[in-house]
A and B are shown apart, each in its own frame.
Chain A
Amino acid sequence: MTQPVLEANHLSRTFGDFVAVDDVTFSLQPGEIVGFLGPNGAGKTTTIKMLTGLLGPSAGSARVAGHDIVTEPLEAKARIGYVPDTPNLYGKLKASEYLRFVGQLYKVPPARVEERMRPMLDMFDLTDVAGNYLDTFSHGMQQKVAITGAFLHDPQIVFMDEPTVGLDPRSARLIKDLMIRNRDRGRTIFFSTHILEIAQTMCDRVIIINKGRIVADARVDDLRAMRGEQTLEDIFLELTGGMDVDDMVKELGDVA
């Protein structure tokens, strides 16, 4: 078996008395797309922030391609791409300037930046506006620039927090294609989403987190087989305590 590209070992994070992430352990292999699912406030973003080095864990450790994110942050971060849930870009930089700056941060040679940036800008229909300031871009356009930036240094693993939020169907499809192409090149994609159809159709594997704890970690097909061919939505609701949703919907219908 190849070396995991990411290993999370007993990761925990507390904020005061509140336990946001509780003893999370999993590993990711090269060349897989893994969906990270969970209800609002389940600990998805906190986990991703710990795995990318944005937030220190209260306990446990994480290794990226064998490098500990806390003790060897530079080696680990050089192998990571990160797309946050909200694309907070420098509004007063032009899109092309932003991407070239990101290239500098990740020590990508300028010629290589141009080589990787141009096709992605073309793919996202951003070439014609690449000279515009980012504060004139819509949320979706900024999201596409952030995604381009995250893939610019050809990272071994890309973390994406809700990558398709605010994107039109065409752009969402392009991102899915981008993820699949990178998976096929041996890269790993780890993304959180609330859209279970995307997870069901795209992911090789899903990890479901609820109240800070991992409640499922399996291939989608295996998970469905284990649960009597239920849909991913039903499995998700069952595991995260949302099976009463049907009753609630019915109740609301009665009230209406």
Chain B
Amino acid sequence: MWPDVLLLMQLYWRLDRRDVTRVRGWRRVGMIVGLIAFVFIGAFSAAAGYGLSFLTRPESPVQLAPGTVPGILLTLVLFGVLFTGLNQAMRALFLSGDLDQLVVAPIQTRAIMIAKLLSRLPGNIALLLIMAVPAFVAYGIGVGAGVIYYLLGLLLLLLAPLFGLAIGTLISMLLVRWLPVNRLNEMLTATYALLGIFIAILAQLPRFFFVNEETSIQTLEAAGEMITRVQSLPLPTLLAGRGLMAIDAFQFDGPGLLGVLAYLLLTLGFFLAVVFGGERMYLSGWLKAQSAGSKRRGLEERDNVFGGRSLAVALGIKDWLLRVRDPRQLVTLLGGSFIAIFVSALALFNSNGGQGSLLDFSVSGELQAPGGWAALTAAFQPGVIMSAWSLFAAYVMLSTPAQGALPLERQSFSLLKAAPLRPAEVWRAKTWSVALPAGVVFGLILTVARFVFPFSLVWMPYALIVGVLMTIALVMLSVSVGFRFANLDWKDPRRMTTSGGGWVGLLLTLVYGVPAIIVAVAPFALAQLWPQWGVLLGLAGITVLALGTWFWARQMARWAERSWELLPA
């Protein structure tokens, strides 16, 4: 069995290595940026580990036992691998394309299972080396730990992924019995996207707890108390941390030693039990996955959502059906918008660092310059800030579906290309199918914002018109970027465009956005000086912006048409 395991693992590692070494162009730039980010994460982790070592010193206001921090670290790592393990086990064991070939080959199923699971280890270990090991090592330096701390501690840390993979294997072997594999794949991607959103929102929590010096001290005290309480919990990971420090100090600590043993059983022991005991379950799960079917549903009149409508409407309905029926896309759509609204609203409404929010400043008039200078600070009036926020929220909410409008076709693009349609017709249909909801969302947010946060209604119609115009222009831009950088082979909805799309999209947003904002705000700003010309200035602003947007639309449509011919069908 082991030669087969080794052979397969070599193959998977080689394939993984090629995925990294063969990256070219923008992806390579992205990878370098990612590596730099990892260096910062590692440095932050080390600083946190070293800082925590001060809590074990007598002069610290919160007293922690030396084993508490390694114990908490092991607990967090096991918690983390629990989330990643299910994804990795499911993809490796049931969603990889080579299973048909391997299952019929004269190889023990157990060998396939072990090789597939162990091949996921290098990625896990790399993550641990970046996120957890620096904190662990720095903490050891801080408390003056000996060699055994590092050796045994690193072993315990590096065994952690086995726990996640073992739990993930068990759960995935059960799940494939009830759900078709492609549905599971979608749900898994959606779940992890949701998890990412949840983490992004969690990352905003410090804004609430570290508002000023007083609340910061209260938060730190509460955290200290919580850690003191946690360290006495009988968790195997916490006890393992305690045992680790005791062994390093050549002391006997019965519960600590038991903790280390329990940790080894949880990770290595559990993993071995699953791979050596779960062979039949894996094979039967795989066979079940091959025969999963669904309830038969016949021809129904209510499915006739396209009949008699225009081509543009039919294309729009089809696109939205594809989006809302795919949980991955739905989460990407809702998640992005939720984060955008939540984070930007926090920045606007919530006081930041105890200095007051942007809106507080705006309402208090502190941001308004006196006399003729008022024109220059007009952009900081509450109505303008709320309009900008509504535009931002609406655009972020719908920019992902806009950019994915053409890539949504995937390989079915050949159907559109072979049909008697002009590329411009498709571009228009796809643009309006997103631009209309985006315009409505912008209007709704601005209207609701007006009730929550009152501002002058005099310029509201103007704000609505220029906001809708700008929303439409930005949606056009995103749809065209999707035409030019479409990835028609996508499997993950976050990869619907090729890597250059994001950068070009950002650049074009600036090319249109900066002049458009100036044109949109200028009439309002000038009206501060000459209020009697307000209506005329507003009309002039709308006219100039409408003309600019029309010109922009033509350019975007032409660009999309040229891209159409380049797309493979």
- Assuming the contacts A82-B418, A94-B297, A104-B314, asked whether A55 and B306 have C-beta atoms less than 8 A apart, the reply is no
User: From residue 285 to 321 of chain B, which have CB atoms closer than 8 A to chain A?
Assistant: 293-300, 303-309, 311, 314, 318, 321
Binary flags per residue of A124-145, CB closer than 8 Å to B gives 1, else 0: 0001111111011000000000
Chain B proximity of A192: nearest CB distance (Å): 15
Binary flags per residue of A108-129, CB closer than 8 Å to B gives 1, else 0: 0010010000100100000111
Residues of B within 8 A of A92 (CB): 321-322, 325-326
Per a CB cutoff under 8 Å, which of B305, B419, B569 touches A49?
A: B569
Chain B proximity of A127: nearest CB distance (Å): 5
Q: Output the residue of A76, A107, A135 with the most chain B CB within 10 A.
A: A135
- In the bound complex, what is the Cα–Cα distance between A236 and B305 (angstroms)? 48
Q: Do residues B311 and A104 form an inter-chain contact, with CB atoms below 8 A?
A: yes
Among listed B51-59, B123-131, B338-346, B406-414, interface-contacting one: B406-414
Chain B proximity of A76: nearest CB distance (Å): 8
Among listed A17-25, A26-34, A95-103, interface-contacting one: A95-103
Binding site for A on B (CB under 8 A): 180, 182, 293-300, 303-309, 311, 314, 318, 321-322, 325-326, 410-412, 414-422, 565, 569
Q: Do residues A100 and B304 form an inter-chain contact, with CB atoms below 8 A?
A: yes
Residues of A within 8 A of B325 (CB): 92, 133
Q: Output the residue of B303, B305, B311 with the most chain A CB within 10 A.
A: B303
- Assuming the contacts A100-B307, A136-B180, asked whether A129 and B298 have C-beta atoms less than 8 A apart, the reply is yes
Q: Does A52 contact B (CB under 8 A)?
A: yes
Q: Do residues B314 and A101 form an inter-chain contact, with CB atoms below 8 A?
A: yes
- In the bound complex, what is the Cα–Cα distance between A88 and B409 (angstroms)? 10
Could you list 21 A-B pairs, sorted by A, with CB under 8 Å?
Answer: A49-B569, A53-B418, A56-B565, A74-B422, A77-B418, A88-B410, A89-B412, A92-B322, A92-B325, A94-B303, A97-B306, A97-B318, A100-B306, A104-B311, A105-B415, A105-B416, A105-B421, A107-B420, A110-B306, A129-B296, A132-B294
Q: Does A248 contact B (CB under 8 A)?
A: no
Q: Does A59 contact B (CB under 8 A)?
A: no
- Assuming the contacts A92-B322, A94-B297, A136-B294, asked whether A104 and B420 have C-beta atoms less than 8 A apart, the reply is no
Q: Do residues B418 and A54 form an inter-chain contact, with CB atoms below 8 A?
A: yes
Q: Does A93 contact B (CB under 8 A)?
A: yes
Per a CB cutoff under 8 Å, which of B182, B296, B297, B417 touches A135?
A: B182
Q: Do residues A93 and B318 form an inter-chain contact, with CB atoms below 8 A?
A: yes
- Assuming the contacts A97-B303, A97-B321, asked whether A54 and B311 have C-beta atoms less than 8 A apart, the reply is no
Per a CB cutoff under 8 Å, which of A86, A93, A128 touches B321?
A: A93
Residues of B within 8 A of A186 (CB): none
Residues of A within 8 A of B314 (CB): 101, 104-105
Chain B proximity of A191: nearest CB distance (Å): 15
- In the bound complex, what is the Cα–Cα distance between A106 and B569 (angstroms)? 18
Known contacts A77-B420, A104-B314; 18 additional CB pairs below 8 A are A53-B417, A76-B420, A77-B421, A88-B412, A90-B318, A93-B318, A93-B322, A94-B303, A105-B311, A105-B420, A110-B304, A110-B306, A121-B299, A129-B297, A130-B298, A132-B296, A132-B297, A149-B415
- Assuming the contacts A103-B306, A132-B294, A135-B182, asked whether A96 and B418 have C-beta atoms less than 8 A apart, the reply is no
Binding site for B on A (CB under 8 A): 49, 52-56, 73-78, 80, 82, 84, 86, 88-94, 96-97, 100-107, 110, 113, 118, 121, 127-133, 135-136, 149
In the complex, the chain A residue whose C-beta lies closest to that of B322 is: A92
Residues of B within 8 A of A94 (CB): 297, 303
Q: Do residues B307 and A110 form an inter-chain contact, with CB atoms below 8 A?
A: yes
Q: Do residues B307 and A52 form an inter-chain contact, with CB atoms below 8 A?
A: no
Chain A proximity of B537: nearest CB distance (Å): 45
Per a CB cutoff under 8 Å, which of B293, B410, B415 touches A102?
A: B415
Q: Do residues A54 and B417 form an inter-chain contact, with CB atoms below 8 A?
A: yes
The binding surface of chain B is classed by DSSP as loop
In the complex, the chain B residue whose C-beta lies closest to that of A100 is: B306
Residues of A within 8 A of B293 (CB): 136
- In the bound complex, what is the Cα–Cα distance between A130 and B306 (angstroms)? 15
- Assuming the contacts A54-B417, A105-B415, A132-B294, asked whether A113 and B307 have C-beta atoms less than 8 A apart, the reply is yes
6 A-B pairs with the lowest CB-CB distances in the bound complex, closest first: A131-B297, A88-B411, A110-B307, A104-B314, A77-B420, A130-B299
- Assuming the contacts A121-B299, A132-B296, asked whether A104 and B414 have C-beta atoms less than 8 A apart, the reply is no
Residues of B within 8 A of A136 (CB): 180, 293-294
- In the bound complex, what is the Cα–Cα distance between A28 and B415 (angstroms)? 23
Chain B proximity of A129: nearest CB distance (Å): 5
Residues of B within 8 A of A121 (CB): 299
In the complex, the chain B residue whose C-beta lies closest to that of A90 is: B412
- In the bound complex, what is the Cα–Cα distance between A86 and B413 (angstroms)? 12
Q: Do residues A131 and B309 form an inter-chain contact, with CB atoms below 8 A?
A: no
- In the bound complex, what is the Cα–Cα distance between A100 and B309 (angstroms)? 11
- In the bound complex, what is the Cα–Cα distance between A132 and B306 (angstroms)? 17
Residues of B within 8 A of A74 (CB): 420-422
- In the bound complex, what is the Cα–Cα distance between A101 and B409 (angstroms)? 13
- In the bound complex, what is the Cα–Cα distance between A76 and B295 (angstroms)? 40
- In the bound complex, what is the Cα–Cα distance between A129 and B318 (angstroms)? 19
In the complex, the chain A residue whose C-beta lies closest to that of B293 is: A136
- Assuming the contacts A113-B307, A121-B299, asked whether A84 and B414 have C-beta atoms less than 8 A apart, the reply is yes
- In the bound complex, what is the Cα–Cα distance between A103 and B308 (angstroms)? 10
Q: Do residues B297 and A104 form an inter-chain contact, with CB atoms below 8 A?
A: no
- In the bound complex, what is the Cα–Cα distance between A54 and B564 (angstroms)? 10
Q: Do residues B303 and A96 form an inter-chain contact, with CB atoms below 8 A?
A: yes
Residues of B within 8 A of A149 (CB): 415
Residues of A within 8 A of B565 (CB): 56
Q: Do residues B418 and A104 form an inter-chain contact, with CB atoms below 8 A?
A: no
- Assuming the contacts A54-B417, A80-B418, A88-B410, asked whether A131 and B299 have C-beta atoms less than 8 A apart, the reply is yes
Residues of B within 8 A of A101 (CB): 306, 314, 318
Chain A proximity of B89: nearest CB distance (Å): 23
Chain B proximity of A146: nearest CB distance (Å): 9
Q: Output the residue of A78, A93, A107 with the most chain B CB within 10 A.
A: A93
Chain A proximity of B549: nearest CB distance (Å): 28
- In the bound complex, what is the Cα–Cα distance between A129 and B299 (angstroms)? 7
Q: Do residues B300 and A104 form an inter-chain contact, with CB atoms below 8 A?
A: no
Chain B proximity of A90: nearest CB distance (Å): 5
Chain A proximity of B394: nearest CB distance (Å): 25
- In the bound complex, what is the Cα–Cα distance between A69 and B379 (angstroms)? 53
